Amino acid sequence: MTPKKQKASKQTKLKILYRRRTNIFGSAKLIKTFDDEFDPTKLAKVVIRIQRLDALWREFEETQDEIEVLEDNEEDFAEERQDFQAIYYELKASLQSKIPVQTVPPVPPPAPAQPLSSVVPISPSVRLPEIKLKEFSGNLDDWVSFRDLYISLIHSSVQLTAVQKMHYLRAALSGEAARVISSLEISANNYLVAWNLLKERFENTTLLVKRHVSALLKIPSLKKESAQGLADLADEFDRHVQLLNKLEDSENHWNAFLVERLSQCLDSVTLREWETHVSAGDKYPNYRELLEFIHRRSRIVQTLKLSQSANTQFEVKHPKPRSVVAHVASDNVTQCVNCKHAHFLFQCDQFRSLSPQQRSKS
């Protein structure tokens, strides 16, 4: 991708992120309106608003992280974080105060500290319950589920410091994924760097969509009826569909299916050109885009074929040298004027043996 296209792509992403952040603030204001105009008859909706507020907090943190990475300046955005934190804490405290005390479930005592193998140690002043994460080794098929769970439990937590999050992140990785951030020291400043390195390496939406659609197409048919086989088929198929739903809007699934199916029909040379073309973009290709690419490729191949044919037609052909066989006949070959034999004078050995004076007299 050229620097100009990279800059345009960056600006487009930032525009989307800024709009998303504005929408988050707007949603928080709606919850504040609910709080300001609270009607005791709508007590049941308080818990729902609290859950929504927590979800907005997680979404804000993720969006703000992406903005700061693209803008490459965290200090300029401290005010935005403080503003949303103030809204979050004030609203949550106000909403929770509206819930009768007897309806608030008791908070369980914190679990004792565990060794690093099961839970990452936190500073002595903070004791957190054990948080178990499924280990991520770098398998792309596991990225979405790992990412969502990690964001929910660790990344969006307001109780954890950046250093603590870095500890949890390190402990949750293995194999290729662990190697991506292995050179980074555990520090507050390195946490966002590490998290965004992982997202940059594994959050390839185009490739993930392609893999899941391809997997759907490759699920084998059942050879015979069986309860377990039917259940496994439904579970496997729906697993890929659910992951696709997280990667893109469901209305785009048909597009992804058509693109994948048609691309499987291409020859190896054209498929390689198509994959090269797709890798230059940052979004999953459109079915019409693939059709246009194939037609364009067809015209190029046809033009090259005509050009090669024209070059062959007008190529200058040089005749192959042929061996010349001299058939000597006494009735049509000039006789030597010196010795009267059948050869030219300059071929006559007798004549060449004469001195210049003798040659002039002969």
Residues 336 and 244 both lie in one domain = no
Give the pLDDT confidence of 77-105 residue by residue, as tens digits.
677 778 888 888 888 888 888 776 543 34
Average pLDDT over residues 106-111: 44
Query: Is 53 in contact with 146 (CB distance < 8 Å)?
Result: no
Residue 242: inside a domain, yes or no? yes
Residues 191 and 230 both lie in one domain = no
Give the pLDDT confidence of 169-202 residue by residue, as tens digits.
998 899 999 999 988 888 888 899 999 899 888 8
Residues 184 and 231 both lie in one domain = no
Residues constituting the chain:
362
**In the beta sheet, which residues pair with residue 173?**
136
Residues 215 and 277 both lie in one domain = yes
Residues 330-343, buried b or exposed e (16+ Cβ, 10 A)?
eeeeeebebeeeee
Cα of first residue to Cα of last residue in the chain, in angstroms, is 89
Q: Among the three residues 74, 103, 132, which one is the final residue of a domain in this structure?
A: 103
Query: Is 128 in contact with 114 (CB distance < 8 Å)?
Result: no
pLDDT confidence of residue 319: 58
Residues 42 and 15 both lie in one domain = yes
Percent of the residues in the chain that have a pLDDT greater than 90, as a whole number: 2
* pTM for this entry: 0.38
Q: Evaluate if residue 108 carries a pLDDT over 80.
A: no
What is the overall mean pLDDT for the chain?
Answer: 75
CA–CA gap between residue 62 and residue 156 (Å, rounded): 8
Residues 95 and 174 both lie in one domain = no
Percent of the residues in the chain that have a pLDDT greater than 70, as a whole number: 76
pLDDT confidence of residue 107: 41
Residue 356: inside a domain, yes or no? yes
Residues 67 and 48 both lie in one domain = yes
Sign of the CA dihedral with 288 first, then 291, 292, and 293 last? positive
pLDDT confidence of residue 211: 79
pLDDT confidence of residue 100: 67
Give the pLDDT confidence of 293-351 residue by residue, as tens digits.
888 888 888 888 777 776 666 555 555 555 544 444 445 556 777 777 777 666 777 77
pLDDT confidence of residue 123: 44
Query: Is 195 in contact with 155 (CB distance < 8 Å)?
Result: yes
Q: Among the three residues 148, 172, 203, which one is the final residue of a domain in this structure?
A: 203
Lowest mean pLDDT among 200-209, 235-244, 341-350: 341-350
- Which structural domain range is residue 29 located in? 3-103
Structural domain count of the chain = 4
Average pLDDT over residues 120-135: 55
Q: Evaluate if residue 281 carries a pLDDT over 70.
A: no
pLDDT confidence of residue 48: 82
Query: Is 219 in contact with 257 (CB distance < 8 Å)?
Result: no
Query: Is 49 in contact with 96 (CB distance < 8 Å)?
Result: no
pLDDT confidence of residue 125: 44
